[in-house]
Chains A and B, each alone.
Chain A
Amino acid sequence: MNDSKILLFGFTRSAIEIGTRLKAQGYTFTYIDNDPTLLPRAKKLGCNLLILDYSDDETLVTLGIGEDVKFVFTLFEEDVQNVFLTLSIRSLDPKVEIIATTHTKDAIHKLEIAGASTVLDPYQMCGKRIYKLITQPEVMQVLDETIFGTEDINMEQITITAHSTLNGIMLKECYPTQKYNMLLVGIHDKELKKEFIFITEGHDHKLDSGDILVVIGQSAEIERFKMDYQL
């Protein structure tokens, strides 16, 4: 379904978890690790695991880095491995999206310097989630059931295309999304390159092609919206 090539370095529990979800979304991807003892486990789980020496730049090139690889996850348990791998990949390809995980606080900064596009800190996330559960249990419950959960309410991003009828109109005009039963959370302006703009901030903004709308709603409703505005 999707042709973007994804590599998952490090056959860890996080990797399996991400893999499961990517599979569900219809992506193809490859697990890569340098530890052959993991092979039986991968076979048991039905995962396609490549055993390669990732520290060798040539190997990375043969994997397609710098060519058709769009996303790379570095998911090793050791921060040293993650930082080194991030650095190797970044040196080969300045454009690839590198999503790195970290296990210690000071590694976050190192990964950023090494060139990771996003650093996922599992402990931070877990901690924040617990915090939310204590301070706003209802919100978390609803979010868990809807956006994160199985219920058919998702968060999606919609890129405005040049031929869309949304192109060139003011944000205010497209705001009443009531008739589609979906919420417009905010937009990301390509030109401004700024942070995400939330709809509640009250900016009135002219929509251009390339701007990204973030909406929440049922998939069917979002599809209907896309159809109507020729997105």
Chain B
Amino acid sequence: MGYITTLFVRFAYFLDASIRYHRAKEFCRTLLESQHSKLKFYFDIFMVLLVVFSVLFLLYEVKHPDGLPYLDAFVQFSLIVFVIEYLLRFWIYSDSHKLFLEAYDHATNNDIPFSLRRALFIIIKKKLDYIFSPLAIIDLLAILPSYRPLRFLRIFLLFRIFKLFRYARSMKTFTEIITEKKFELFTLAIFASFVIFTGSSAIYIFETHQNPKINTLFDAIYWAIVTMGTVGYGDIVPVTTEGMVVSMLLIIFGVAIIAFLTSIIVSSFQSKLIELKESRTFADVDKLENYIVICGYGRVGEVVAKMLHEDGYNLVIIDNDPSKIKLAQQRGLIGIVADASKSKILGALGVGKRAAQIICATNSDELNVFITLTARSLSKQIIIIARVIKNTHKKKYFLAGANYAFGADETIGLMGAQYIDQPISYAALEEMLTENTGVIFDIISIHEHSCFTNKTIEVLSLHEKRLLLFGILRKDESVPFHFNPSNDFVLKDHDMLIIMGRKHHINILRKLNDKRSVL
């Protein structure tokens, strides 16, 4: 290994070990590229202002070539900033020392002789990639014309305006659309050039000696484009019949091409807008904590979502059907058109992190089981409630990890049979469960400092409070539920009283329970 190679290797290792170097590079990366950094946000604003003002001064200079001293200073300053920015971007584009070390390691690990030339070639190639990237070219063109000997390139200073593409997101969207529709636009451009070429050649052939305004091929091309653009300034008009025919054809083709161009851009803008909107919805979800994900906004999902929404729960709804999501959004819910069976979607929605519960309410057992499984694989804690379509599949839901699973048919069976037997008690039960009449089931848990701890039930004097004690849930015992406990039943902390009554009556008891003092 030659002396120079050793020097290079040593230097690369030195850079790799240097904390300062890494920190500096990291800082520049945050400043120039990190999408979420506040620093970049301020830097972008500063750069936009700099670009706008430097262009304004350039325009001012057109009529006032002598310039003003402080203006010149400003122009110099902005130039320096642009140059530094260009160099920094050039620097952070790739980690040359890493590339070098990779090549070196590869050579030593595989017992191949290390070629310095090859390593340098890789590094330079990577840097050249940057130099020839469109945005970098724009950056360079914004700087170069300031160099005195290249003054004739002053017009390129206007390229500074294109620099704004770097800093504004909406402009980025536009460039994205252009790149996305590259193929369509390219095809259209070929067709347009063909039409222009044919049209201008035809008019050139037909009119060169008849029409004093068409003398060169350039005139013909100019006329063709103006006519095709449906502008027709009228400065050049065909005088021969053949010329007029060409003109008519050109106008028809021109309209067609423009219509195509417009439709391509508009359609892709529309799809892009949906995407933009969606990314905003995802950002909305990011802000939520402890929310409920509802997969499927069918009739079951609708009922659940409505009731939970009224109670102030945070909901996120996923459905394949855009019209259903639209309906949900109209009702003020967060809805996302997505395939809920994709674990990526569920992951992006925070299932496994911030989502507390997930409801699988699509109308297919396969999908519901799949969602259950996906959600369970993402989180052990999440509570999964699934709607079973076919009762024979119920077992699969529990195998997949659902906490609760039940079907409509089952409920119907239960309610239907109950109705035949005892229509009145059915009505009572339904009223309590649906909370239509205001009499509800509720839970009061006795906490450690409650005044009811170690007291008998008699102390609660439930009858006077117009409450009915259904039972007490004591989770750590072998028989956790005590139905209709007698008056001398002693309450312990963490007991849960299941009470029937009106909401405000229950709330009175709840307030007493929250008080620390003895009654």
Contacts and interface: CB of A to CB of B under 8 A. Distances in A.
Chains A and B bind each other: yes
B97 interface: no
> In this complex, which of A6, A20, A21, A199 has the most chain B Cβ atoms within 10 angstroms of its Cβ?
A21
Interface stretch (B15-23, B71-79, B125-133, B428-436): B428-436
Interface string B43-62: 00000000000000000000
A214 B443 contact: no
A175 to B, nearest CB: 8
A155 B307 contact: no
A207 B501 CA distance: 22
Interface in B471-519: 471, 473, 481, 483-484, 486-487, 496, 498, 500-502, 505
A200 B470 CA distance: 12
A126 interface: yes
B428 A185 contact: yes
A166 B313 CA distance: 47
Given A129-B411, A155-B428, A120 B387 contact: no
Contacts of B119: none
B172 interface: no
A4 to B, nearest CB: 8
A169 interface: no
A17 B409 contact: yes
Contacts of A173: none
Contacts of A6: 420
A131 B308 contact: yes
Contact of A196 (B298, B407, B431): B431
A128 B434 contact: yes
A75 to B, nearest CB: 8
Given A6-B420, A71-B420, A126-B408, A142 B481 contact: yes
A178 B486 contact: yes
A123 B361 CA distance: 10
A73 B304 contact: no
Contact of A155 (B298, B412, B419, B429): B429
Nearest to B471: A142
B134 interface: no
Interface stretch (A59-67, A78-86, A132-140): A132-140
B161 interface: no
Given A134-B385, A157-B424, A185-B428, A146 B304 contact: no
Interface in A61-100: 71, 73, 75, 97, 99
B443 A14 contact: no
Contact of A130 (B304, B414, B433): B304
Contacts of A24: 417
B300 interface: yes
A22 B307 CA distance: 32
A37 B224 CA distance: 72
A13 B389 CA distance: 10
A218 to B, nearest CB: 8
B111 interface: no
Interface in B364-406: 383, 385, 387, 390-391, 404, 406
A127 interface: yes
B420 A127 contact: no
B410 interface: yes
Contacts of B413: 14, 17-18, 20-21
A24 B409 CA distance: 17
Contact of A133 (B385, B414, B500): B385
Contacts of A105: 299
Nearest to A101: B412
Contacts of B414: 21, 148
A21 B416 contact: yes
A42 interface: no
B307 A128 contact: yes
Nearest to B430: A125
Contacts of B304: 127, 130-131, 134
A4 B421 CA distance: 10
Interface in B295-312: 298-304, 307-308, 311
A181 interface: yes
A27 interface: yes
A122 interface: yes
B484 to A, nearest CB: 5
Given A18-B413, A136-B442, A131 B404 contact: no
> In this complex, which of A27, A157, A200, A202 has the most chain B Cβ atoms within 10 angstroms of its Cβ?
A200
B479 to A, nearest CB: 10
B303 A183 contact: no
Given A14-B413, A17-B391, A156 B359 contact: no
A153 B441 CA distance: 16
A130 B300 contact: yes
B401 to A, nearest CB: 16
Interface in A192-228: 195-196, 198-202, 212, 214, 216-218
B292 interface: yes
Contacts of A188: 424, 427
Contacts of A165: none
Smallest CB-CB A-B distances: 3 pairs: A127-B303, A17-B413, A122-B408
Interface of A: 4, 6, 12-14, 16-18, 20-22, 24-25, 27, 71, 73, 75, 97, 99, 101, 104-105, 118, 120, 122-139, 142-143, 145-148, 153, 155-157, 175, 178, 181-183, 185-186, 188, 195-196, 198-202, 212, 214, 216-218
5 contacts: A130-B359, A136-B442, A139-B441, A143-B441, A147-B429
Interface of B: 292, 298-304, 307-308, 311, 313, 357, 359, 361, 383, 385, 387, 390-391, 404, 406-425, 427-429, 431, 433-434, 437, 439, 441-443, 463, 466-468, 470-471, 473, 481, 483-484, 486-487, 496, 498, 500-502, 505
Given A120-B415, A202-B466, 17 more contacts: A17-B409, A17-B416, A97-B420, A126-B300, A126-B407, A127-B300, A132-B433, A134-B304, A134-B383, A139-B442, A139-B443, A178-B487, A198-B437, A198-B439, A201-B439, A216-B470, A216-B484
